[in-house]
Chain A
Amino acid sequence: MPEAAIDTVGLRKEFARNVAVADLSLSVGRGEVFGFLGPNGAGKTTSLKLLIGLVEPTAGSGTVLGAPLGERDVRARIGFLPEHFRFHDCLTAKELLDLHGRLLGVRAPALAARRTALLARVGLEEAADRPLKTYSKGMLQRVGLAQALLGNPELVFLDEPTSGLDPLGRVLVREIIEELRANGTTVFLNSHLLGEVEATCDRVAFVKRGRVVHELVLAEMQSGLDVEIRVADADAALLDGLSEFGSDARLDGALVRVRVEHERSLPAIARWLASRGTDLYELKCRRKTLEEWFIEVMGEDQGPG
């Protein structure tokens, strides 16, 4: 079995009396596009910094690309786009990428070629010689993305990569993530934009108060359907019967809900209801969105951050 790109057990970080990350235990496979979700203050950014080595854990352990957390050499194989990307704005985009390339140990000829290709990929080749202080927020985010990809990383951490980007910029980020997936690069995506996560990630983890409280494989999420049925008389026998078509059959006020695997279960349910003489007023189905999962997992006690 290939080793995980990220593997942590009981990672904890305290700042004075404040627990930023309580108990982070997670595993991210090689080549996976992994979404890390949680409300503001859930410890997402601190978790990410723990994995990169910007913050030392108070307790727990972990590996990144097979090396213990914080090991210097492994950082040459990692790309990182921080939330609110800031840099030396007196530099031009070319100079910024040259600087980071040198720090990564990329040799000059390869660096020049890589820099040119990346600036073209993020649509900044014409602005490459302009000081970054003249860039818009979206342009800065794009040059930050180019910086994260400079060393051909095996693992890329993207902390809110689409913040500040217009719709075209978001499409660009999505395309780049797809390219990374195609190349077998592992992507660790921290984002509030659940639509982006749903469109790009293979798997997500929900983090609440510094703990992973739920993990979800998005392909599995899309295969199931929530069916909502309104009938005249819902009883235990009806629920038992519906359980034959799917799982989690339950009464929800005047409605009956059941989760089925395929759309083709719907006519079968309708036929079965008619055959037992149940008056059917409404039957509809829908997929649960990631946002609904998020709200359900985070619970009612979780106010907006």
Chain B
Amino acid sequence: MRGTLTIARLTWLEARRRKIALAAVLCGLAFLAVYATAAFFAHRSVAQGVVNLVAQRIMFQTLFQAGLYVVNFLVIACAVLLSVDTLSGEMSSGVIQTLASKPIDRAAIVLGKCLTYWLMTGAYLLLMAGGVMLSVWAAAGIVPPHLVLALLLMWLGATAMLAVTILGGTRLTTIANGIVAFALFGLAFIGGWVEQIATVVRNDAVRYIGTTISLVSPADAMYRRAAHELQPSSGALGVQLTPFTPLSVPSVAMIVWAVAFVLATLLLAIRTFRHRPL
């Protein structure tokens, strides 16, 4: 535990000193500023009576889900980019040698780095999704349901990508690891769309393909489940369908699978790293 916390502290210090955390926060704030401005002007058009109530609901629901969609992508990109170089880079430069020659389990290096990046990803998600929610609430007074659950699901999706990237870093070079991580996210994305299309055309075979892809890379499935949780009931708002509304909702079993996926991936990363020549 001592080793894990020491490495976690080192990782945070490094992220802070290299201005990684600052860059993420500043870019996030820039995004939120643009987003809040859009929400403000949307609200003004409502106040001027340009749109009716249903159109207003659709507009804000779309704006909200589009915001979260982008936030989800940014948080996943953040999880991948933070961790893509952390093991492979330190192995290729030799930095890892003096750490690994100390009386700590190599698992502490993997878990320490992972812990910091996981918390940073969570904080980034909270900032970005919180900013989006605050903007929509301030503009339209909309408070989506199941906020905490939805955020936890999005965090779980990002954690899955973080775990995959950490695992890749134990074997691959930095660039190869980045390519694999984003390819897996792309796969998850297309898997989600395959499931959506299969739901529309009622084709079970195609839906199984989509579900199988989600099993291999569950990040997008967690976003779709989160988006579903944030959907207002039809009675509350009268509007459910937007371009970002998930038609195929991942099950609770998929959430359990995502948790198991993260744990299994991290265990595999630890096992691989323990035997890796440094």
Is A55 part of the contact surface with B, judged by Cβ < 8 Å?
A: yes
Given A55-B277, A56-B275, A90-B14, residue A102 in contact with residue B95 (CB < 8 A) = no
* Residues in chain B near residue A15, CB distance under 8 A: 277
Q: Please give the distance in Å from B213's CB to the nearest CB on chain A.
A: 33
User: Do B101 and A80 touch across chains, with their CB atoms under 8 A apart?
Assistant: yes
Q: Please tell me which one of the listed residues B2, B13, B98 contacts residue A80 in the complex, with CB atoms under 8 A apart.
A: B98
* Residues in chain A near residue B14, CB distance under 8 A: 88, 90
A104 to B102 Cα, complex, angstroms = 6
Q: Please tell me which one of the listed residues A85, A103, A144 contacts residue B104 in the complex, with CB atoms under 8 A apart.
A: A103
* Residues in chain B near residue A99, CB distance under 8 A: 6, 10
Q: Whose C-beta in chain B lies nearest to the C-beta of A81?
A: B98
User: Do A73 and B103 touch across chains, with their CB atoms under 8 A apart?
Assistant: yes
Per-residue CB proximity of A99-116 to B under 8 Å, as 1/0? 110111100000000000
Per-residue CB proximity of B95-139 to A under 8 Å, as 1/0? 101111111110000000000000000000000000000000000
List B1-18 residues whose CB lies under 8 Å from chain A: 2-3, 6, 10, 13-14, 17-18
Q: Please give the distance in Å from A180's CB to the nearest CB on chain B.
A: 18
* Residues in chain A near residue B52, CB distance under 8 A: none
Is A293 part of the contact surface with B, judged by Cβ < 8 Å?
A: no
Is B48 part of the contact surface with A, judged by Cβ < 8 Å?
A: no
Q: Please tell me which one of the listed residues B18, B95, B275 contacts residue A87 in the complex, with CB atoms under 8 A apart.
A: B95
Is A78 part of the contact surface with B, judged by Cβ < 8 Å?
A: yes
A147 to B95 Cα, complex, angstroms = 13
Is B186 part of the contact surface with A, judged by Cβ < 8 Å?
A: no
Is B93 part of the contact surface with A, judged by Cβ < 8 Å?
A: yes
User: Do B277 and A84 touch across chains, with their CB atoms under 8 A apart?
Assistant: no
Given A72-B104, A103-B104, residue A86 in contact with residue B99 (CB < 8 A) = no
* Residues in chain B near residue A131, CB distance under 8 A: 17
A12 to B3 Cα, complex, angstroms = 30
Given A15-B277, A82-B94, residue A90 in contact with residue B100 (CB < 8 A) = no
User: Do A90 and B13 touch across chains, with their CB atoms under 8 A apart?
Assistant: yes
User: Do A90 and B98 touch across chains, with their CB atoms under 8 A apart?
Assistant: no
Q: Whose C-beta in chain B lies nearest to the C-beta of A73?
A: B103
Q: Whose C-beta in chain B lies nearest to the C-beta of A80?
A: B101
Is A208 part of the contact surface with B, judged by Cβ < 8 Å?
A: no
* Residues in chain B near residue A55, CB distance under 8 A: 277-278
Q: Please tell me which one of the listed residues A54, A74, A102 contacts residue B97 in the complex, with CB atoms under 8 A apart.
A: A54
A49 to B277 Cα, complex, angstroms = 9
Per-residue CB proximity of A50-88 to B under 8 Å, as 1/0? 001111100000000000000011111010101011111
Q: Please give the distance in Å from A222's CB to the nearest CB on chain B.
A: 34
Residues of B within 8 A of A (CB): 2-3, 6, 10, 13-14, 17-18, 93-95, 97-105, 275, 277-278
A56-B277, A105-B103 given; 18 more Cβ-contact pairs under 8 Å = A52-B101, A54-B97, A54-B278, A55-B278, A56-B275, A72-B103, A73-B103, A80-B97, A84-B94, A86-B94, A90-B18, A91-B13, A99-B6, A102-B2, A102-B6, A104-B102, A104-B103, A105-B2
